[in-house]
A = this chain, B = another copy of it.
Amino acid sequence: MKNITASFAMTALATESEAQDRKPAAPAAVYEVAPGLGHFTDDILFGEVWERAELTPRDRSLITVSAIVSTGRTVQIGAHVRRALNNGVTPAEIGELITHLAFYSGWPNAISAVMETKKVFDERCVAPVTDSDAARIELEVSAEAARTASVNAGVAPTAPALADLTNRVLFGDLWQRPDLSARDRSLVTMAALIAMGQAEQLPFHANRAMDNGLTNSEASEVVTHVAFYAGWPRAMSAVPVLKRVFETRPGE
């Protein structure tokens, strides 16, 4: 009986929050404390940016969750995981995005993200995620050889364990896991690097993202979208980096 009541309550909650997620709007408290923020949230962020066709809502959700998880904004994770589910990101993809970001933004962010996501999964009665049994992602051989050579030359002499883990675990395991596509991993990594202010790793990953299918127009829009979730300065610092990447890719 208790379970049935709880289940009704949860369904009600889920339905209500799904409805809210489909028509996102600034909460009332925003208008009471910072009416300007209400205006910009509803007229610009939700009314304009999320509606732009340059990226799908699913891509925008991947980027948003990545920016929020990688900058440790724990309080905001639940709402955006809900919206990601509504926008077609699967629970398994959300789990693997978090796994991916454990490496790119640290374990504490990932563990906190798991705990917040667990609440949303429970609320929506999502079954426990299991590892995909699809074939592993094959990395492009020559690009992977170049990457390994670069790590062996640039990292191994100073930090041999870090070089080994990079080759063996990050690229030898994580990036090959079929639970999130290569293109989505790149999208998520780019968003995290911009949000964290890590311009140094952006050329490699922006190039990789475009090798994995991201267009110039989508890459630009990632920067624009992250501006709203990690601040204008992070986006502005990414622009010249992206400009150089565009210039060095022939015929694009």
Binding site for B on A (CB under 8 A): 27, 29-37, 39-41, 44-45, 49, 52, 54, 67-68, 70-76, 91, 94-96, 98-99, 101-112, 114-115, 117-118, 121, 128-131, 154-155, 157-162, 165-166, 169-170, 173-174, 177, 179, 192-193, 195-198, 200-201, 220-221, 223-224, 227-237, 239-240, 242-243, 246
Contacts and interface: CB of A to CB of B under 8 A. Distances in A.
B233 A161 contact: no
Contacts of A49: 165
Contacts of A99: 34, 36-37, 40
A176 to B, nearest CB: 11
30 contacts: A32-B118, A32-B129, A33-B95, A33-B117, A33-B128, A34-B96, A36-B177, A37-B98, A37-B99, A37-B111, A39-B131, A40-B103, A40-B174, A44-B165, A45-B107, A54-B161, A70-B231, A71-B108, A73-B108, A75-B108, A107-B228, A158-B246, A159-B242, A162-B223, A192-B231, A197-B198, A198-B237, A200-B233, A200-B236, A200-B237
Given A40-B103, A76-B111, A159-B224, 19 more contacts: A27-B111, A29-B114, A31-B128, A33-B98, A33-B129, A34-B117, A34-B129, A35-B95, A36-B179, A71-B106, A72-B72, A73-B109, A75-B112, A103-B227, A105-B230, A161-B221, A162-B220, A198-B233, A198-B234
A135 to B, nearest CB: 16
